[in-house]
Structure 1
């Protein structure tokens, strides 16, 4: 049996391969393993979404997390936190800028703040939206997410849902 397993990086939010014998970790599938062997590794079904390389979902898909702050002009001005959101868009942007300053480039802080403060139900998963492709998200959000490299955090992005910080994770 292989000593390789698939794990999820807490800092990057991306899957990696870990050798339980040598304690080595790598981002790409270990050489010498077939696609079928990689898919059979412990953790592969949970973290690889059908990819043998650990690179993610189906072709053209990306993975992202976000921290959403809604405002009174959002398409649904309510959330798990507030039944009736009355803040202005400017107030929402200011709040998000405060979070942005706390986050810096820390994906761990991003996840913590998304869990505590995001107005999206994805807060329960540290803001993780999973894998998605073109045409599945609102255009402004999609354009912002696709413009990022894995591990990068966007500036404030406005969509019909509210204002977001986006962390591309895959």
Structure 2
């Protein structure tokens, strides 16, 4: 299996089952993701606000703040607006699928599913991050090129102005030469 390139995709894993959270974190670290772990919803929010991950993978059933409340809270925080939320839960019935969507999760994966599904979602997030980074680079280049174009246009306008002045001077000289020769078309 091919390892993803080092893009520094930041993943926050949230699960009250420490073994499950730590195991998933190790799997993702082996795939070169930058991973942090939180064991409850409140700790996850604190960590997400301080560290701002690209992806937050959360269990649903947790004591205190469950995954739904965590997602809703994350969606109200402007600093976390770009974070992709993944519900990783044993629940797969229609009611929980709907609740996950309403809470603001972008993706929902059943815990019993093969880890490949989660890795594919992370790969998409990685590609989105790469495209966003490249878009920012291109936008910066466009701003630089726009500035250079503006300067070139200014130079061209100045050169056109100078050429027009030279043409006026040449016309004046031609008129004077014609007058000196007595050319009737000089006027």
TM > 0.5 fold call:
no
More strand by share: 1
TM-score calculated relative to the size of structure 2: 0.21
Larger Rg: 2
